[in-house]
Copies of this chain bind each other. A is one copy, B any other.
Amino acid sequence: MFFASDNGGPANPEILAALTRANEGYAMGYGADAIMDEVRAQLREIFEAPLASIHLVATGTTANSLALATLTNPWETIFCSPTAHIHEDECNAPEFYTGGAKLTLAGTEDKMTPDALRAAIEGEETRGVHGPQRGPVSITQVTERGQVHSLEELNALTAVAREYGLNTHLDGARFANALAALGCTPAEMTWKAGIDAVSFGGTKNGCMGVEAVIFFDPAHAWEFELRRKRGGHLFSKHRYLSAQMQAYLADDLWTRNATSANAACARLAAGLRDLPGVSFDFEPQANIIFLHMPRATHQRLQAAGAVYYIMAGDVTSGDPDEPLPARLVCDWSVTDATIDRFIETAIG
């Protein structure tokens, strides 16, 4: 019963099979492998963006940092949500890669709103050279609290950015989960919605470690390539990144995985929703649940070996009815049986 993170489960067997296939014979290094040509073609087709520049890296922090560094001058500030991964979970990687840009938090909630974004931009009055200059807007989709921006919401955010002449970046570590939730096309969730650059996640959704960075304006390509090399993120044996992404995109593996994970999360949410003392902090929309459950419920789950993050409080002692906050994440691999066992254990 592992719900700690969607980086804890296994990779799809298809991914491993692809590595094995890619392991035949010799290949040119550093992105000049033939499989990467396929990946470029796949993503351009999927995104309906024949000119997009496509790059692979191994981690999500890297995808975000390099994409943002390419769009940000060091004297600028990046607008993001207060719960954005780039703000809370990357140990200052965006600040490092941009050479010292700032992050300005738009709003107090998980999901950035146009009003909060506008207020944040206006709050960063630059007053000539004195204040930080306004830089790109980074939107997280799925958010860190499991929320999905609707296409209307995305369009409204990018409209504010455009009004101020700012670029936009989508942190899509859970891109596929958002897409499955919205039932739209990749183009609709990105460039048709005004997004300039995307971190397109693979790692959390069934790969071993691969993310694509996509710029819809190919003018950014060469600078990104240099930044990736200089950051140590250009793989000599690049074919093993290519192979993962190739298999991830082939036969809809990526959307199948995300659909499974979202469905698992919905089943879990349905089973927990009406339990006494259980309340959801956010309405689950993809594969993540933030909820409160009574201490006694946590104790039963922990005793049964369930693995997940309890966000605050001492689970071992105290009022058994006191609700303690927790996060539950479903990956592609979790089974209905596991979910049902978790729910039964929670019911007690």
| Residues in chain A within 8 A of chain B (CB atoms) | 2, 4-5, 7-11, 13, 16, 19-20, 23-30, 57-62, 65-66, 73-77, 88-93, 95-103, 127-133, 203-204, 208-209, 225-237, 240, 307
Contact = CB atoms under 8 A, between A and B. Distances in A.
B92 A74 contact: yes
Contacts of A25: 2, 9-10
Contact of A59 (B2, B127, B129, B233): B233
B229 A232 contact: no
12 contacts: A19-B19, A26-B307, A30-B129, A30-B130, A59-B234, A61-B229, A62-B233, A74-B92, A91-B129, A92-B102, A129-B229, A209-B236
Contacts of A101: 92, 95
Contacts of A133: 91, 226
Contacts of A234: 59, 61, 129
A130 B91 contact: yes
| Chain A interface mostly | loop
A307 B234 CA distance: 22
Nearest to A6: B236
Contact of A230 (B16, B75, B127): B75
Copies of this protein in the assembly total 4
A75 B59 contact: no
Contact of A229 (B4, B19, B93): B93
Contact of A28 (B8, B77, B132): B8
Contact of A226 (B2, B8, B11, B91): B91
A231 B230 contact: no
A131 B226 contact: no
A132 B92 contact: yes
A95 B132 CA distance: 11
Nearest to A7: B236
A93 B231 contact: yes
A131 B61 CA distance: 12
Given A7-B236, A24-B10, A237-B203, A89 B19 contact: no
Contacts of A90: 130, 229-230, 232
A231 B129 CA distance: 11
A95 B91 contact: no
Given A75-B227, A96-B230, A233-B233, 18 more contacts: A9-B25, A11-B237, A16-B23, A26-B307, A59-B235, A66-B232, A74-B95, A75-B91, A75-B230, A88-B131, A89-B127, A91-B133, A95-B102, A96-B100, A129-B234, A204-B236, A209-B236, A231-B232
